[in-house]
Amino acid sequence: MRITALAGGVGGARFLRGLLAALRSSDDPARREAELTVVVNTADDVTLHGLRISPDLDSVMYTLGGGIDETRGWGRSEETSGVADELARYGRTPTWFTLGDKDIATHLVRTQALAEGRTLSRATEELCRRWAPDARLLPMTDDVVETHVDLAPVPEAERAAHDGEAGGRRVHFQEWWVRLHAAVPALAIEPVGAAAARPAPGVLEALGGADVVVLPPSNPVVSIGSILAVPGIRQALVDTPAPVVGVSPVVGGAPVRGMADACLAAIGVPTTAAAVAGLYADLLDGWLIAEGDEAPAPGPRPLAVRRRPLLMSGPAATAALAGAALDLALELAGERAGEVAPA
Ligand code: GDP
Ligand code: CA
């Protein structure tokens, strides 16, 4: 069985770890031996202090490879900040982006590979040789895509509460997310470079050749939305013979963790499980929502909706959620096989 997933950082990584746990402990040999390919968002990527940083690739790699800081959900475990402290003493900015010492080693390996002319795909392969994440990690593209955010003007009286920010300018996504905690409203969010980007080698094949495609509960705008903005990827999801099954990142009208509501507001979409499904209406076949949430209105494509516990509160709950997504996908795949089988 070939499973392909799209993913952002923390939400995607946690879900995929649960998916691998569910697969590897299954009684069904097809699930136990399933191959997982993950197409990871790279529009959060940023260059700081000369280092090329791919936060979502690293979150997925560390989480699946056993190196993640479990408390924060991102970055390396048992991390120190010696380099960042020294940079601050040199007066180097920005200081709002956390750069751990161990994490910097990862960024150095990546930055050097790129400087030597290798692609981000190759750099990711090199890093994954160490972490052995039990999945093939593909950046969505080897081209540079960076999400930029247009900040609303901040009234003078409110600036102190927002780190002195006056707004009315365009910043890198990380500055809005990490420095401003997405608390200054965004007027627009744009994955700059996406329109000219090409899917990384293997991405379209992994979508077209999958038996199952999964959308974990990643940020619908700046994670899944950026991946879908790379020309060819959205169409590959529309066209794939595999069922596409997603998990809502929104429960009861709020993102489970983080500030996805600020991203949805910027594109004029309500923070509901139904509205998020609407963003995928052309490609989605199955959708998991929480008990008590409203199902999406019928769209252009038949959609199977199931209510399941959506909180990834621990390893068992996460594996159960991932197992439920897989069950729904295989149920839909079975129905399709029945449709085309000779009478
Ligand atoms: P990021 O790149 O680190 O922001 O991570 P992702 O884009 O992969 O995922 C962020 C999304 O995960 C957020 O919008 C959250 O709503 C969602 N999320 C986090 N924890 C949970 C959970 O336990 N259950 C569900 N359903 N969604 C979650
Ligand atoms: Ca991210």
Do 222 and 256 share a structural domain? yes
Nearest in space to 138 (alpha carbons), one of 37, 231, 215: 37
- Alpha helices by DSSP H, listed for 148-191, are 173-174
- pLDDT single digits (tens) 30-83: 999 999 999 999 999 999 999 999 999 999 999 999 999 999 999 999 999 999
78-137 confidence digits (pLDDT tens): 999 999 999 999 999 999 999 999 999 999 999 999 999 999 999 999 999 999 999 999
| Percent of the chain at pLDDT exceeding 90 | 98
180 and 57, same structural domain?
no
- The pLDDT, as a whole number, for residue 338 is 87
34 and 11 inside one domain = yes
pLDDT tens-place string over residues 267-316: 999 999 999 999 999 999 999 999 999 999 999 999 999 999 999 999 99
CB 135 within 8 A of CB 16: yes
Is pLDDT at 343 greater than 90 in this prediction?
A: no
Ligand 2: distance of its center to the CA of 112 in Å? 23
pLDDT, residue 342, reads 57
Q: What is the pTM of this model?
A: 0.97
Q: Are 272 and 261 in contact (CB under 8 A)?
A: no
Give me the mean pLDDT over the 326-339 stretch.
Answer: 93
* Residues 92 and 170 placed together within one structural domain of the fold: no
Cα–Cα distance for residue pair 173/53, rounded to 1 Å: 13
- Whether 341 has a pLDDT exceeding 80, the answer reads no
Site to substitute for ligand 1 among 223, 228, 264, most atoms within 8 A of C-beta: 223
Kindly state whether residues 93 and 242 are assigned to the same domain: yes
What are φ and ψ of residue 251, in 5° steps? -130, 125
Domain that holds residue 236: 2-142+198-340
Q: Please state whether beta strands 250-251 and 136-139 pair in parallel, antiparallel, or not at all (unpaired).
A: unpaired
Count how many domains the chain has. Answer: 2
Claim to verify: residue 160 and residue 291 sit in the same structural domain: no
Q: Are residues 167 and 213 in the same domain?
A: no
Residues 120 and 166 in one domain: no
CA distance 234 to 183: 30
Is the C-beta atom of 56 inside 6 A of ligand 1?
yes
